[in-house]
Amino acid sequence: MHEIEQRLDDWKNNLCQKVEVAALLSRNAIAHKWKAPFRSLIIREACFWRIHDLLSQSYSLHNYHQTLGSRILLRSVLETLSTLIYLNHLTKNVLAGVEDFHSFSEKTSRLLLGSKDKSTKHEAININTVLDKCDDRYPGISKLYASLSESAHPNFESTCFGYARSDQENHITVFSNNLREMYEDQQLSSIKFCMMIFEEEYNKEWETQFERLESWLVINDSELESSKPNWP
Protein backbone atom coordinates (compact mmCIF):
# COMPACT_ATOMS: atom_id res chain seq x y z
CA MET A 1 0.00 0.00 0.00
CA HIS A 2 1.35 3.44 -0.95
CA GLU A 3 2.29 5.78 1.91
CA ILE A 4 -0.46 8.25 0.99
CA GLU A 5 -3.09 5.53 0.75
CA GLN A 6 -2.04 4.16 4.14
CA ARG A 7 -2.22 7.55 5.80
CA LEU A 8 -5.63 8.25 4.29
CA ASP A 9 -6.83 4.90 5.59
CA ASP A 10 -5.51 5.74 9.07
CA TRP A 11 -7.24 9.12 8.93
CA LYS A 12 -10.53 7.48 7.99
CA ASN A 13 -10.39 5.36 11.12
CA ASN A 14 -9.90 8.47 13.26
CA LEU A 15 -12.59 10.76 11.88
CA CYS A 16 -14.67 12.29 14.68
CA GLN A 17 -18.19 10.83 14.71
CA LYS A 18 -19.92 13.33 17.02
CA VAL A 19 -19.43 16.26 19.41
CA GLU A 20 -21.58 16.47 22.52
CA VAL A 21 -22.03 19.82 24.26
CA ALA A 22 -22.65 18.02 27.55
CA ALA A 23 -19.20 16.44 27.36
CA LEU A 24 -17.60 19.84 26.79
CA LEU A 25 -19.43 21.36 29.75
CA SER A 26 -18.36 18.42 31.88
CA ARG A 27 -14.79 19.00 30.75
CA ASN A 28 -14.80 22.72 31.67
CA ALA A 29 -18.13 24.37 32.45
CA ILE A 30 -16.79 27.94 32.57
CA ALA A 31 -14.82 27.79 29.33
CA HIS A 32 -17.58 26.06 27.41
CA LYS A 33 -20.38 28.38 28.35
CA TRP A 34 -18.76 30.49 25.63
CA LYS A 35 -19.66 29.42 22.09
CA ALA A 36 -16.33 30.13 20.39
CA PRO A 37 -14.55 26.97 21.65
CA PHE A 38 -17.46 24.83 20.46
CA ARG A 39 -17.33 26.46 17.04
CA SER A 40 -13.58 25.94 16.94
CA LEU A 41 -14.02 22.24 17.62
CA ILE A 42 -16.72 21.86 14.97
CA ILE A 43 -14.60 23.72 12.40
CA ARG A 44 -11.63 21.48 13.20
CA GLU A 45 -13.55 18.23 12.75
CA ALA A 46 -15.49 19.40 9.69
CA CYS A 47 -12.19 20.42 8.09
CA PHE A 48 -10.83 16.93 8.83
CA TRP A 49 -13.79 15.26 7.13
CA ARG A 50 -13.61 17.57 4.11
CA ILE A 51 -9.83 17.32 3.71
CA HIS A 52 -9.93 13.54 3.95
CA ASP A 53 -12.71 13.38 1.37
CA LEU A 54 -10.99 15.76 -1.04
CA LEU A 55 -7.56 14.17 -0.69
CA SER A 56 -8.98 10.68 -1.21
CA GLN A 57 -10.61 11.80 -4.44
CA SER A 58 -7.57 13.77 -5.57
CA TYR A 59 -5.28 10.81 -4.98
CA SER A 60 -7.68 8.44 -6.74
CA LEU A 61 -7.87 10.69 -9.80
CA HIS A 62 -4.08 10.97 -9.84
CA ASN A 63 -3.80 7.18 -9.94
CA TYR A 64 -6.09 7.15 -12.98
CA HIS A 65 -3.97 9.92 -14.60
CA GLN A 66 -6.86 12.41 -14.35
CA THR A 67 -4.44 15.23 -13.64
CA LEU A 68 -6.72 18.23 -14.01
CA GLY A 69 -9.39 16.94 -11.63
CA SER A 70 -6.74 15.87 -9.13
CA ARG A 71 -5.20 19.36 -9.10
CA ILE A 72 -8.53 21.18 -8.82
CA LEU A 73 -9.47 19.03 -5.82
CA LEU A 74 -6.06 19.64 -4.24
CA ARG A 75 -6.71 23.37 -4.56
CA SER A 76 -9.87 22.87 -2.48
CA VAL A 77 -7.80 20.92 0.04
CA LEU A 78 -5.49 23.91 0.43
CA GLU A 79 -8.42 26.28 0.95
CA THR A 80 -9.87 24.02 3.65
CA LEU A 81 -6.48 23.48 5.27
CA SER A 82 -5.93 27.22 5.30
CA THR A 83 -9.15 27.64 7.26
CA LEU A 84 -7.79 25.42 10.03
CA ILE A 85 -4.42 27.22 10.04
CA TYR A 86 -6.18 30.57 10.21
CA LEU A 87 -8.36 29.39 13.10
CA ASN A 88 -5.27 28.36 15.05
CA HIS A 89 -3.63 31.67 14.22
CA LEU A 90 -6.61 33.60 15.59
CA THR A 91 -6.63 31.53 18.78
CA LYS A 92 -2.96 32.25 19.38
CA ASN A 93 -3.63 35.95 18.90
CA VAL A 94 -6.37 35.88 21.55
CA LEU A 95 -3.99 34.25 24.03
CA ALA A 96 -1.29 36.78 23.19
CA GLY A 97 -3.66 39.70 23.70
CA VAL A 98 -3.48 40.72 20.04
CA GLU A 99 -7.04 39.65 19.13
CA ASP A 100 -10.11 40.64 21.14
CA PHE A 101 -11.96 37.51 22.24
CA HIS A 102 -15.36 38.80 21.16
CA SER A 103 -13.98 39.63 17.73
CA PHE A 104 -12.48 36.13 17.63
CA SER A 105 -15.87 34.67 18.52
CA GLU A 106 -17.49 36.56 15.65
CA LYS A 107 -14.82 35.28 13.25
CA THR A 108 -15.44 31.69 14.34
CA SER A 109 -19.08 32.24 13.36
CA ARG A 110 -17.98 33.41 9.92
CA LEU A 111 -15.57 30.50 9.49
CA LEU A 112 -18.26 28.01 10.49
CA LEU A 113 -21.35 29.60 8.95
CA GLY A 114 -20.05 32.02 6.33
CA SER A 115 -21.33 31.95 2.75
CA LYS A 116 -20.75 33.79 -0.51
CA ASP A 117 -24.23 33.22 -1.92
CA LYS A 118 -26.10 34.74 1.05
CA SER A 119 -27.47 31.32 2.03
CA THR A 120 -26.51 32.22 5.61
CA LYS A 121 -26.50 35.56 7.39
CA HIS A 122 -22.73 35.39 7.91
CA GLU A 123 -20.33 36.57 5.22
CA ALA A 124 -17.51 34.15 4.45
CA ILE A 125 -13.98 35.34 5.18
CA ASN A 126 -12.01 36.04 2.00
CA ILE A 127 -9.73 33.12 1.17
CA ASN A 128 -6.86 35.47 0.29
CA THR A 129 -6.95 36.88 3.82
CA VAL A 130 -6.71 33.34 5.14
CA LEU A 131 -3.91 32.30 2.78
CA ASP A 132 -1.75 35.33 3.65
CA LYS A 133 -1.63 34.18 7.27
CA CYS A 134 -0.85 30.61 6.25
CA ASP A 135 2.14 31.47 4.08
CA ASP A 136 3.80 33.17 7.05
CA ARG A 137 3.74 29.85 8.90
CA TYR A 138 4.27 27.48 5.98
CA PRO A 139 6.22 29.17 3.16
CA GLY A 140 5.18 27.76 -0.17
CA ILE A 141 1.45 27.46 0.44
CA SER A 142 0.60 30.59 -1.55
CA LYS A 143 2.90 29.55 -4.41
CA LEU A 144 1.31 26.11 -4.58
CA TYR A 145 -2.17 27.60 -4.40
CA ALA A 146 -1.36 29.99 -7.26
CA SER A 147 -0.12 27.08 -9.36
CA LEU A 148 -3.22 24.99 -8.64
CA SER A 149 -5.42 27.99 -9.39
CA GLU A 150 -3.91 28.19 -12.87
CA SER A 151 -5.30 24.69 -13.43
CA ALA A 152 -8.70 25.60 -11.99
CA HIS A 153 -9.08 28.67 -14.20
CA PRO A 154 -9.13 28.81 -18.01
CA ASN A 155 -5.89 30.78 -18.20
CA PHE A 156 -3.11 30.29 -20.75
CA GLU A 157 -1.20 27.55 -18.92
CA SER A 158 -4.16 25.26 -18.25
CA THR A 159 -6.05 25.87 -21.49
CA CYS A 160 -4.00 26.90 -24.53
CA PHE A 161 -0.70 25.45 -23.35
CA GLY A 162 -2.39 22.57 -21.56
CA TYR A 163 -4.27 21.37 -24.64
CA ALA A 164 -2.45 22.78 -27.66
CA ARG A 165 1.03 23.03 -29.14
CA SER A 166 1.89 25.35 -32.01
CA ASP A 167 4.25 24.60 -34.85
CA GLN A 168 5.03 28.17 -35.82
CA GLU A 169 7.25 27.22 -38.71
CA ASN A 170 4.48 25.26 -40.44
CA HIS A 171 1.62 27.34 -39.01
CA ILE A 172 -0.09 24.33 -37.45
CA THR A 173 -1.68 23.95 -34.02
CA VAL A 174 -2.00 20.42 -32.70
CA PHE A 175 -4.38 19.60 -29.85
CA SER A 176 -3.75 17.04 -27.12
CA ASN A 177 -4.02 16.71 -23.34
CA ASN A 178 -0.62 17.81 -22.05
CA LEU A 179 -1.53 18.22 -18.38
CA ARG A 180 -0.27 14.81 -17.29
CA GLU A 181 3.17 15.53 -18.72
CA MET A 182 3.16 19.03 -17.20
CA TYR A 183 2.03 18.27 -13.66
CA GLU A 184 1.80 14.60 -12.76
CA ASP A 185 5.32 14.24 -11.34
CA GLN A 186 4.73 16.99 -8.76
CA GLN A 187 1.24 15.93 -7.67
CA LEU A 188 2.22 13.31 -5.07
CA SER A 189 4.73 15.62 -3.40
CA SER A 190 2.07 18.36 -3.25
CA ILE A 191 -0.40 15.94 -1.64
CA LYS A 192 2.23 14.91 0.92
CA PHE A 193 2.96 18.58 1.64
CA CYS A 194 -0.71 19.20 2.43
CA MET A 195 -0.94 16.07 4.58
CA MET A 196 2.12 17.05 6.60
CA ILE A 197 0.73 20.50 7.32
CA PHE A 198 -2.70 19.14 8.23
CA GLU A 199 -1.29 16.66 10.73
CA GLU A 200 0.77 19.41 12.36
CA GLU A 201 -2.20 21.79 12.63
CA TYR A 202 -4.82 19.21 13.61
CA ASN A 203 -2.86 17.02 16.02
CA LYS A 204 -0.48 19.51 17.62
CA GLU A 205 -1.28 23.16 17.02
CA TRP A 206 -5.05 23.04 17.50
CA GLU A 207 -4.92 20.83 20.60
CA THR A 208 -2.28 23.02 22.26
CA GLN A 209 -4.11 26.27 21.55
CA PHE A 210 -7.53 24.84 22.48
CA GLU A 211 -6.35 23.71 25.93
CA ARG A 212 -4.67 27.06 26.51
CA LEU A 213 -7.86 28.84 25.42
CA GLU A 214 -9.92 26.88 27.94
CA SER A 215 -7.61 27.94 30.77
CA TRP A 216 -7.54 31.51 29.50
CA LEU A 217 -11.34 31.70 29.46
CA VAL A 218 -11.55 30.56 33.08
CA ILE A 219 -9.09 33.24 34.16
CA ASN A 220 -10.74 36.01 32.12
CA ASP A 221 -14.40 34.99 32.49
CA SER A 222 -15.52 37.93 34.66
CA GLU A 223 -13.89 40.51 32.42
CA LEU A 224 -15.35 38.91 29.32
CA GLU A 225 -18.83 38.90 30.84
CA SER A 226 -18.62 42.63 31.53
CA SER A 227 -17.43 43.43 28.00
CA LYS A 228 -19.73 41.02 26.15
CA PRO A 229 -21.47 42.60 23.13
CA ASN A 230 -24.97 41.69 22.01
CA TRP A 231 -23.75 39.03 19.58
CA PRO A 232 -25.11 35.49 19.44
pLDDT band for 230, please (50, 70, 90 cuts).
Answer: low
Check residue 129 and give its pLDDT. Answer: 79
Give DSSP secondary structure letters for 175-196: E---HHHHHHHHHHHHHHHHHH
Q: What is the mean pLDDT of residues 94-105?
A: 97
Q: How confident is the model at residue 1 (pLDDT cuts 50, 70, 90)?
A: low
Predicted pLDDT at 127: 84
Q: Which domain holds residue 118?
A: 3-226
Residue 213 has pLDDT above 50, yes or no: yes
Question: Has residue 196 been placed in a domain?
Answer: yes
**pLDDT tens column, 159-189:** 999 999 998 889 999 999 999 999 988 999 9
Q: Please tell me the least confidently modeled range out of 41-50, 115-124, 211-220.
A: 115-124
R_g over Cα of the chain: 21
pLDDT band at 232 (very low <50, low <70, confident <90, very high): very low
Q: How far apart are CA 14 and CA 48, in angstroms?
A: 10
Residue 211, in any domain of the structure: yes
Q: How many domains, in total, are found in the chain?
A: 1
pLDDT at 90: 96
Q: Is residue 11 part of a domain?
A: yes
Residue 232 within any structural domain of the chain: no
Within a domain: residue 55?
A: yes
Q: Is residue 199 part of a domain?
A: yes
Does residue 103 sit within a domain? Answer: yes
In degrees, rounded to 5, the angle at the alpha carbon of residue 200 between the alpha carbons of residues 127 and 77 is 35
Helices vs. strands in the chain: H and E counts, helices first: 10, 2
The pLDDT tens digits of the residues spanning 102-142 come to 999 999 999 999 999 999 999 998 888 788 778 889 999 99
For residue 84, count other CB atoms closer than 10 A to its CB: 26
Residue 54 CB partners (closer than 8 Å, separation 6+): 73, 74, 76, 77, 80
pLDDT, one tens digit per residue, over 56-73 is 999 999 999 999 999 999
Residue 231 resides in a domain:
no
